[in-house]
Structure formats: structure tokens, C-alpha cells
Amino acid sequence: MTTRDVMIRADTLGKCYQIYDTPGDRLKQFVLPRLRRFTGVGSRVYYQPFWALRDVSFELRRGQTVGIMGRNGAGKSTLLQLVCGTATPTAGSVETRGRLAALLELGAGFNPDFTGRENALLSCQLLGLSADQASEALPRIFDFADIGEFADQPVKHYSSGMYVRLAFAVSVAVEPDILVVDEALAVGDIRFQAKCFSRLRQLQERGCAILLVSHSIEQIARHCDSAMLIEGGRLLATGHPKEIGNRYMDLLYGTVAAAVPTTQPEAADGDSPDAPASGDSLGFDGSTEDCYASRPLYNPSEYRWGDHRASILDFRVVDTEGRAISQIESGDACDLLVKVHFRSNIRHPVYGFYMKTIDGILLSGCNSREYPAREEIRLKPVAAGQFVAFRVALRLPFSAGHYLLSVGIAEDVEGELVPLDRRYDSILLGVVSKRPPAGLIDLGLTCDVRPLPFAQPTGAKRLDA
């Protein structure tokens, strides 16, 4: 890679906004500092500075796709605005190379009173195409956007889905060197999103550098080479999309325990589930030792967090006869058994599970709040010192390969899930199959051919003669 391959370079980038308490303070800030400088009186400001972004440095190279994650208000959109030139940095600098197309917040860039055709022509020319080139691009744009007769209607009459379809079609039709997308694809339907990501892959292969903001960890893991995590206007971490996704989940759920009282109400008499009988231990003992990492299927690259009021101590993967297994035949059934020890009274516990591919694509998941095996176990309280085993019945119709399983225990507090112990990507389960691979999911499909009892045309020659 040479310096010519660097398409975006940001150096200690920052953006500060002036926050005024009243409109009068804004007027004072406009007039009084000039008078004070003229009279030699010391300066004074009438606003509070707010740094939406501060000290952010990164590079985006040709053909690279970088995802940006962060909570609402973290500074993601501000960063994209600085990269695209729609906002001016307060500190630092940002440089871009080549033609840049951007799909920022819905409504940016189009005149609501212009038709879709007029906005498309104008946008193409603003992105560097000549009038003739813009006219030639229109059929491709409207074919991709699929808005039909609405092409000649003012865009103020468009639905949000039609609007974003046209905006994305314009952005990719100009064959940009840099494409910036800010969560806008979430507005489109599933069919259009698949179409968009197919086009993104084509741009990647052509060498386009892509900056993608999304709250979907699965989208970032699947489509990005690396990722950045922004929090409080600062670049918190950069790295592999899976690692950054874990850090993002930690920000969302792993730090809320401090706001929740550590002493929970006593469980009501008779509400706590009975301790498992000795003959129903599911292969677990009463030890409080954490044996999780000693199991053969344990993934040492797991990501774990929670407030420690409960601990996931052990797990087993067993076949329908209860025998421990290390892999499973595609389409067969098995059970995941997980042992949990509670250190505090938990009024409304929620037990959860999900399964991903190695590269982070979410395949399926469930929890005891939304998908209880029996209604009586839903949000049933447990007492301090209680051991619980939860079971997830699995049937895995996947192609041969390895898959990551995650388990967790949380508390439902007025609808919000407060993590007690979560072990993400902690189990690596192998799936084997005698059938040749034909995609991610093996549906057991077969092809059959049968001759039809129709008369052969006169003079036709049998190919197998």
C-alpha cells in the first residue's frame, strides 16, 4: 500500500458546538466580544462549549470497508459530516482523495420541491458528472431505485423507503472512490437491503473505500474489514469487527449495573424454584467452582461481562440420549445444558442463548422471557444460593463447519435486561455432514428427474440413442 491508496486521512479531528441557554446569550456572544476587544476589556463567552467529536485519527485505504459503531449521540454522524465536508472541523484536519458519495441522514441533499428525476440529475452533477454523463446514468439509477412512475413526482411526496432508495441509487451510480453511508439502509425493506449490500460488494471489488455506520453488529461483521467504536466523541477502540462488536455490546449492557441496587427484594415465599433433586442434576454437581473453561468445547476467545450477582459455572452439550458430544450431525437434535449459581435474590431472571457463524452472522437465539418452554418458568424468581440449570433444545440444519454459541443470564427490570453474567462466543460447536456443502443452511433438498409420458415429435432424434 502506498500513500496514494489512502482515501481518507483524519488527524486529531474535533468538532465543538456552542450551546446557548437563551437566544439573548447568542446575540451577546455575537456583539459584546467585539466591543470588549475594541475597548480593551477582558473577553467573556456566553455559551457552553460542547465537543461532539475530539482527537479522532484514522485512515481508510482503497478497497477497505470500515464500520463505525457507537451509542446514539456518540459522535458518529458528526464524524461523517466532517469527512464529507458538510461540517467544518474545530480542530485537526481531514483529507479525502477521489470522488466521494455520501448517504447521510434522510432528507440531506435533495430539494423536496424537485422531482426525483431533477434531484438525481442535480446530485449526479454535484458529484462530478457532466450533464451528459448524468443523463446517461438516469436509467441505471431508476432501475436500481425501483420507484416507477414516482420518478417525475416531487420527492416531498415520497415515502422514507422511496427516498432512501433513490438516494442510494444516485450514490452508487456515479462509481465513487469513497462511499459514506450513515445508517440510512435501515429505512429500506429487506429486499432492498440485500440489493444494496450486493452493490456494496461490487464496489469493494472495484476498489471503492467504504465508511459504514450501523447499529447492526451482524452487518458490520459481515461486510467490514475492520471497525471503530466511538463513545463520548472519542475514538474508543479500533480492530476486528467481532471484537469491536463485543465492546459495543459492553457499552450498551455491561455498565448499567451501577445504576441498579445490588440488594434485591427477597423472593416471595413459595416463589423460588425448588432445588434440583439429586436424581435430576442433569450431570452437574453442587460445586460453586467455575468449570466452564475446562470443557472440551470451550472457546478461550469468549467475551464475558455482567455485574456478578449470578455466575454461569458449567455447560454440557448432549445428544438425545443424554451423552456428551463434541460435534453433531447436520439436522440432528441435541441439548445445551447450562449451570447457573445465583449470589443474590433475583426477582425476574431471564436465561438467554444465541448462535453465530465464525464471522459473526447471527443465526438464531432465544430467551426464557420471550420463548419459555413452559409458561411457569417465565421470569420465575430465584433466591441467593440457588443453583439452576437451563436447557436449550437445538436442531441444527447447518452445513458442515464450526459455530459459536453464547449464553447469558440477566434480570428483567421494568422491561430492560440488566446483565448478571454473559458469556459470548464461549462455546465452539462443530457440525458435520455427509452431504456436499450448498450454502449456510442445509434444508435437505434433493433434485429428481422423471420422463414425461408425452409422444416424441416425428423425426426427432433421441440424444441417448
Contact at 8 Å (CB) between 397 and 433? no
> So what's the pLDDT on residue 230?
94
> So what's the pLDDT on residue 288?
84
> So what's the pLDDT on residue 459?
62
- Where does residue 182 rank: exposed (0-12), middle (13-18), buried (19+ CB within 10 A)? buried
What average pLDDT values come out for the chain (465 residues) when binned by 10 residues? 81 92 83 73 78 93 92 90 91 92 71 89 86 88 84 86 84 87 68 78 89 84 89 92 82 47 37 41 82 91 90 93 86 92 94 88 89 89 93 87 91 91 91 76 82 72 57
- Where does residue 289 rank: exposed (0-12), middle (13-18), buried (19+ CB within 10 A)? exposed
Report DSSP state, residue 382.
Answer: B
- Quote the pTM value: 0.64
> So what's the pLDDT on residue 261?
33
Q: How far apart are CA 211 and CA 234, in angstroms?
A: 17
> So what's the pLDDT on residue 107?
54
The full DSSP string for 214-271 is -S-HHHHHHH-SEEEEEETTEEEEEE-HHHHHHHHHIIIIIT-GGGS-SSPPPPPTTT
Residue type for position 347? R
Burial 437-446 (b: 16+ CB within 10 A, else e): eeeeebeeee
C-alpha cell belonging to residue 445: 433438498
Provide the CB-side half-sphere exposure for 306 (13 A, CA).
21
- Nearest Cα neighbor of 170 from 184, 186, 189 is 184
Q: How far apart are CA 392 and CA 369, in angstroms?
A: 13
Structural domains in the chain, sorted by start: 3-250 (3.40.50.300), 264-432 (2.70.50.60)
> So what's the pLDDT on residue 263?
34
